[in-house]
Structure 1
Amino acid sequence: MKRPLTTDREARRGVAFGLGAYVTWGCFPLFFALFQGVPAFEVLAHRVIWSCLFLAGLITLMRRWEPIRQALSAPRRLGRVLGCALLIATNWGLYIYSVESHQVFQASLGYFLTPLVNVALGMLVLRERMAMLQGIAVAIAGFAIAIQLMMLGELPWISLVLAFSFGTYGLLRKQVPLDGLSGLFVETLLLLPLGLMAVSWLSMIDQSHFHGTPRNTVLLIASGIITALPLLAFAGAARRLRLATLGFLMYLNPSIQFFLALLVFQEPLAPSQLATFVLIWTGLALYSWSAWQDRPRSEGSTRR
């Protein structure tokens, strides 16, 4: 009788961890909006540096250096990790830029698109078979982007780059034999020289905001910590929950961003943008239904 209670307790903890991770990611625009006057690339450089240092401290406390030693001892295997690092840096930098330039709606749309991009990449790159509903969902997403292109005369490039960079990152990340914590540390470690060079260059030309005010100094250091914490919460959720449950929680992130853009940042929402979101939401509903239908039947009766 104790086992189901223990399992239920672990599931509740998993949901709490998942909510913590996705709600934190969804609220990121509120944090990055505080960097008024600090260029996105400078925030990115400090995010890399302080994430790396914070993760190094965590790994030391948790005594998790062995998988990292193994990864670094085989330089030929670091190619995919470097690819992951460049993709996540692109994603982080563009996301910060979208907040600073008051384009949170585009960021939200990008993360709504990501699951559908994952399906398309799985079919094109991994030759995975696409279920009929998943194919319809991807087609609806493509139609939504075409509508925005026709009505606004421009591609929602921020949304597309965010979706494809994160989707491709996930594709490569699956091929890297490192857990979330170790993987993020190695990625930031590979980016660390670039981050240090950027910060040094800004200091040399007297354009650094790090020592400008105590507020900026604290915020730039905190950017590294706030990057790592939701990842740790997500790892805790992933160990305790089914992928289907995590998939539904994932939509919290862009949903929160959408309402922040609408209610807090008061960004204008053109009819064409609203039509794009409605079509994407329709595609996501079909995708989620397809994923639910294709889940292993044993999941409904057996819990891990």
Structure 2
Amino acid sequence: MTLPEQSPEIAAPVAPIPAVDANETRNGVIAALAAYLLWGFLPILFRLIEQAGSVLIVAERTIWSLLLLAVFIAFAGGFSEVRAVLADFKRMRIIALSAVLLVANWLLYVWAVETGQVLEASFGYFINPLVNVAIGMLLLGERQNRWQTIAIAIASVAILIQAGGLGRVPVIALGLAFSFGFYGFIRKTAHAGPATGLFAETVVVAPFALAFVAFDIATRGIGVHADPGQMVLLMLTGPATAIPLLLFAYGIRRLRLTTIGMFQYLAPSIQFLLAITLFGEELNGMRLLSFALIWVSLIVFSWDSFRQRRRPAV
């Protein structure tokens, strides 16, 4: 949840290693930014195909993502790595866990869009950096300073105010934040490349997705599959899913969890604006206050991270 400052410091200025590390960090930043921008506009696609239902949408996006990834890996010549991952029981256990977390996140998010709760979904992705920080501190030994701790405290208050504005516990927000936070942790620790790891995840889930699509057609008829326009949009869920996830996986392997978390504000900010403008969702005073506090929290984190990055290395 800090600005990119984590490329290793190397003392010798003539060695080629620092430039490589700096390039890796910069590429990770670019990939993370692109991923979150794409995720920000994803609710528009899901709203256009909401008649299909959240479970069918998730099943379809799994299938089309798998096909797209297969083409990408074949073009890149990466199937030897895929075979190695699929044959490694230990790695596949980790991949299976990340796949479960990913599908849970997908289902909850698509359902939130389908039921007109994009504002709460956006709030969930605003508090996701808190989860990244907590995981980074508890499981990876990352430490936060006084200003970052203050930012976390402000955001915690925002969560309580959001609950007050909703009149209930923000289940969607918390579910999205925790499922994606732990997904990010698993993807950071799993020994698999971005494309390989995501392909393995979709391989795990694909049989269930295919079974559900077959069941849905058998019980409800061909439905949205008979509409060419809807079918094209369903197919687009493949690249709309795979491309940002590949970018995210690429970025998270090159940045700290606290760093990757800082970019999280982009997607929910876009979703927030979509919810109150395009989708017409209601924003009462308490919920607006909670969002304002979240933005203050992110500003504090950003300022502190920038300050530390500008500090001379010793």
Secondary structure in structure 2 of the residue aligned to 1:267: coil
For 1:182 and 1:138, the matched residues in 2 are separated by 34
What whole-Å deviation, never above 9, does each CA across 1:246-283 have from its counterpart, x for those lacking one?
66554221111111111111211011110111111112
Q: Following the alignment from structure 2 to structure 1, what is the Cα–Cα distance between the partners of residues 136 and 34? A: 28
Unpaired segments ≥5 residues, structure 1: 300-304
Match of 1:302 in 2: none
Alpha-carbon shift at residue 14 of structure 1 (Å)? 7.8
Report Cα offsets for 1:206-241 as digits up to 9, x if no partner.
255352311222111111122122344556777999
**1:242 and 1:80 mapped to 2: Cα distance?**
20
2:188 alignment partner in structure 1? 174
1:148-182 CA-to-partner distances (Å, cap 9, x unmatched) read 33343201111111111000111111110112111
Matched, 1:66 2:46: no
Residue 36 of structure 2 is aligned to residue 22 of structure 1:
yes
Normalising to structure 2: TM-score of the pair? 0.82
Q: Does 1:40 align with 2:54?
A: yes
Distance in 2, matches of 1:272 and 1:122, equals: 30
Name the amino acid aligned to 1:292. Answer: F
**CA distance in structure 1 between the aligned counterparts of 2:49 and 2:100, rounded to whole angstroms:** 23
Tell me if 1:103 matches 2:112. Answer: no
Give, as a single letter, the amino acid of the residue that structure 1 aligns with 2:268.
Answer: P
Identity of aligned residues (%): 43
Structure 2 stretches of 5 or more lacking a match? Answer: 1-15, 17-21
Opposite residue 84 of structure 1, the aligned amino acid is S
Tell me if structure 2 keeps the 8 A contact 1:59–1:65: yes
Report what 2:147 is aligned to: 133
User: How many aligned positions are there?
Assistant: 295
- Which residue matches 2:8? none
Contact 1:119 1:134 in 2 (8 A): no
AA of the residue aligned to 1:195: A
Q: CA deviation at 1:110?
A: 1.1
The answer on whether the counterparts of 1:36 and 1:100 sit within 8 Å (CA) in structure 2 is: yes
1:289 is paired with a residue of what secondary structure?
A: helix
Cα deviation 1:85-137 (Å, max 9, x = unaligned): 01111111111111111111111111111111110122233443332222222
Q: Which residue of 1 aligns with 2:243?
A: 229
Separation in structure 1 between the aligned mates of residue 182 and residue 300 of structure 2, nearest angstrom: 22
Q: Which one of 55, 73, 93 corresponds to residue 79 of structure 1?
A: 93
Which runs of structure 2 are paired with 1:95-244 in the superposition (5 Å)? Answer: 95-233=109-247
- Is residue 124–residue 172 contact of structure 2 (8 Å, CA) maintained in 1? yes
CA contact (8 A) 2:188 2:252 kept: no
Alignment counterpart, residue 53 of structure 1, candidates 67, 74, 86: 67
Matched residue type, 2:283:
L
- Matched to 1:40, the amino acid is S
Query: Matched residue of 1:128: which SS?
Result: coil
Q: What is the CA distance between 1:25 and its match in structure 2?
A: 1.3
> Structure 1 stretch 226-235 or stretch 152-161: which is displaced more?
226-235
Which AA in structure 2 matches 1:45?
A: A
Distance 1:197 1:226, change over 3 A: same
CA deviation vs aligned residue, 1:172-197 (integer Å, no higher than 9, x gap): 11110112111111111111111011
Q: CA 1:239 to 1:174, structure 2 compared with 1: closer, same or farther past 3 Å?
A: closer
Q: 1:130 to 1:11 in 2, by over 3 A?
A: closer
CA distance in 2, matches of 1:281, 1:116: 13
Instruction: State how far apart, in whole Å, the 2-side matches of 1:201 and 1:249 are.
Output: 39
Q: Which amino acid in the other structure matches residue 242 of structure 2?
A: A
RMSD of equivalent CA atoms: 3.1
